[in-house]
Structure 1
Amino acid sequence: MAHPETALPTHDSAALATSGRRVFQLEAEALAAVGNRLDGDFSQACRLMLAARGRVVCTGMGKSGHVARKIAATMASTGTPAFYVHPGEAGHGDLGMITDADVVLALSYSGESDEVLMLLPVLKRQGNPLITMTGRPASSLARAADVHLDVSVPAEACPIDLAPTSSTTASLAMGDALAVALMEARGFTADDFARSHPAGALGRKLLLHIADVMHGGDDVPRVGADATVSEALVEMSHKRLGMTAIVDDDGRLLGLYTDGDLRRSLDDEHVDLRTTRIAEVMTRAPRTIGQDALAVEAAQLMEAHKISGLLVVDDTQRVVGALNIHDLLRARVV
């Protein structure tokens, strides 16, 4: 039971849920209204950004500034070099970050933010193409733009029509629309995305190769075809991968022996661990993978065939490595 001093206030659950649903409805209507207005100005804005020799510089104050930061981050991660400049700091030296090769994307729902308007003379004198995003096409910022994107909404979701809600959602969506249109125009791929997200889950899946996670050299468990089962078990115990490769004199793969094979051997009364040759009980033609394959491919193979380890072979079927599911877990591929 909650302590009286920390008990949650009691409010009508139905009323709270109704309020939340109303916000979703109003913001959905706002997005539909803005989406229906996409026209040649949107296309022209994209063309200006694609033609830029420099970067897309996003700027805005207050909530518009937060949206501008997110737009810059989304563009930068999807193939369009971009960054955010705080308009207040820009007037105190950060304008030097903007070169004449850059395109400026300025956000202000009112279109009258003093800090943003203060930048216009410098940007115009420097020759920067100016794309603006406002809710008032007749505003000072909209009229100064080379291209204006109208993000006006029928109503804010805020019940007193003061807090930016529907309008910021619409601006975010417009930024996403720009980023995705530019991404598709540039032919930006999943591999490109991974290279800019090396620490993320997608980056690991698309950049990490088998050679990066496998055990190689003397750490690879292997025995010859004449070894006994007990000798193979000693090798498996030392290398701690739950399996061993069986190879010929040139190191080419002949078969595989795993913990599962050991259990089956123990159930076979004809198998003497001390005298039976490993070649008699090994799995022939086991699943393998190349060291240049993606680590995520190993995970897919293991899942598809219900196995927990793989041998890594080269083009001549020489065993060059081994890995198991724990290696993929440590690499956070699965």
Structure 2
Amino acid sequence: MEHDDPAAAAPHIKEEFREEYLRLKELVAMGPRNPEPYLDLGDICFFSGASDEAKRWYRTAALVSNRSPEVMEHISMHMPLAVEEREEKPFVFDWDNVLKYPLRNGAWLGVVFAGLGIFATYFALMFAAIFAFSFVLVVYMLLSAHLLKVVQDTAHGGKSLPRLFGESFDFFGDVAKPALSFWGAVLFYSVFPFLLIYFAGKLGLPVSGLGFAKVFPVYFSIIFPGVMGACALGGFLVAVNPVILVKIISRTFLTYMLAVAALALINSGVSALFRTHSLKASPLLFLTVVSMGTAYVYYLTAHIIGRIFRDNAEKLGV
């Protein structure tokens, strides 16, 4: 793709490399599992003097390749410290950075826009049903697609909120397809227990609806991070493969369960805040706080899920 002004889009890159740099940036935005584009970006940045960015691309190449000897040798010839240094501690020891992620480096603007979108959905329900449904659908498609991109970017070493819209934006490919894939995967795992109960009842096995109602939220909170991560990094077919989900959970069990517990605590704390009488006294303030708080928690959740995969990249082959 030709860019109107490569110099403005990548002023820190040498002129002879800019077109290729921008092309590769578009390519890696799709989350390829091949380390070559990340290595090429690292090389371009290295030879352009952008050493910090070069380190980031080299680290991502190392993660994607599961530290293959060929990739490690290539990196060592250019910037040997790029892989030896760790950008971050495991997320369970890095809460200061984790909690700041949705607000850092201007990311708070994205959270505010997402919050405004969520806020607007409450008022959409006042209008005609078709309009309300369409508006809410588009808002949550955009939000879901961006959250998946956050998971993907974080898993590959990103430290700042990525942009949803690239220079060549395709609503179906960039928004509708990933969002619907994610929703489909969530629906698949949500329906699965109900089918088990149905068939258990048909077989005459004792089933307690009340007991299931208590267990289901726990079940869902456990499978959700794995489903979202698998969908972001592998797509729908990977996400709905229970074998892969079990592998993700089993190979990262301690980190994974700590993430589940942390997310449960965060959501409980936010829910408690939303229930306070002082906020309910002003409906507009209440809706504003709920919307912004929900957006913050969504992005924080996506980042933590991405960190599960990033911190366990060698075990998962991310």
TM-score range, shorter chain: under 0.3
**So what's the TM-score if we normalise by structure 1?**
0.20
Bigger relative CO (Cα 8 Å, ≥ 6 apart): 2
- Which of these two proteins has the greater Rg computed from alpha carbons? 1
Question: Which has a greater percent of strand?
Answer: 1
